Amino acid sequence: MTVRAFQTCLCPIIIIDGSHLKRKYLGMMFVATNMYGNNQILLIAFGVGKTESRESCIWFLSRLKECIGDMPSLAIILDIVDSIEMVIQVVFPNAYHKLCCHHLLMNMITKIDKQERTKILFWEDAKDYRQLRRALNEDYRTWLEIIGYEKWARSYFLVVRYNIMTSKNAKSINSLSIDAQKLQITMLIDFFRATMQQWWCQRRKC
């Protein structure tokens, strides 16, 4: 049901995040999400890989592609592993890779400085629909140019990204399952299945 809803009703954006399973049952839990009209989270897919690695990420994206197929103008927000651009190109060669603006900002202020005005200027640039204001200092601009404006600035997006600028909704799913992550893998999967059934039932009544 969630895959069909994503294919037919939602903007073509997938937010993917991963969480380490650190208890008795180890691995890397992946979730793929979107957000629909009333700002509620749609969990599209979930799975557990062996490690936080290129191979595990490719495995999850491959299983995801089997479900959703090739979608035109698909954008993927993903920050999990190194060389992530290559990982996406392997499975979704026609998709666009975007970065979580929150993580990008945190990395930027850690490497350069932590002025509050810098955060404000960054978000103004990230959210502007028409053009960059370019009010950030030269060090910031150089760093962001290397990363690529098309990966974070709305005015440079090659596809429409709507109002989804971060991976926070995927991280919310990870936080929701924090206790279930201590269980066996099969019980963790059952938790997600039961949670989605409960959500669909509750939201159908609203």
Closest to 192 measured CA to CA, from 48, 68, 8? 48
Task: Provide, rounded to the nearest whole percent, the portion of the chain with pLDDT above 70.
Answer: 95
pLDDT band at 147; cut points 50, 70, 90: confident
Look up residue 69 and give its two tokens. 């197929």
**What is the predicted pLDDT for the residue at 80?**
62
Say what the pLDDT of residue 116 is.
80
Is 124 within 8 Å of 133 (Cβ atoms)?
Answer: yes
CA-based nearest residue to 37, from 192, 163, 152, 199? 163
Angstrom CA distances, 160 to 58, 92, 140, 165, stand at 25, 17, 25, 11
Domains of the chain from N-terminus onward:
2-100+166-205 (3.30.420.10), 101-157 (no CATH)
Per-residue pLDDT at 81 exceeds 60: no
**CA dist., res. 150 & res. 109, Å (int):** 20
| 30: Cα separation from own chain's centroid | 10
**Residue-wise DSSP of 100-148:** -HHHHHHHHHHHS---HHHHHHHHHHHH-SS-----S-HHHHHHHHHH-
pLDDT recorded at residue 82: 59
Side-chain-side CA neighbours of 19 within 13 Å: the count stands at 22
Question: pLDDT tens, 20-64?
Answer: 887 788 888 899 999 877 778 888 999 898 877 888 889 999 999
Report pLDDT digits (tens) over 157-168. 887 767 888 888
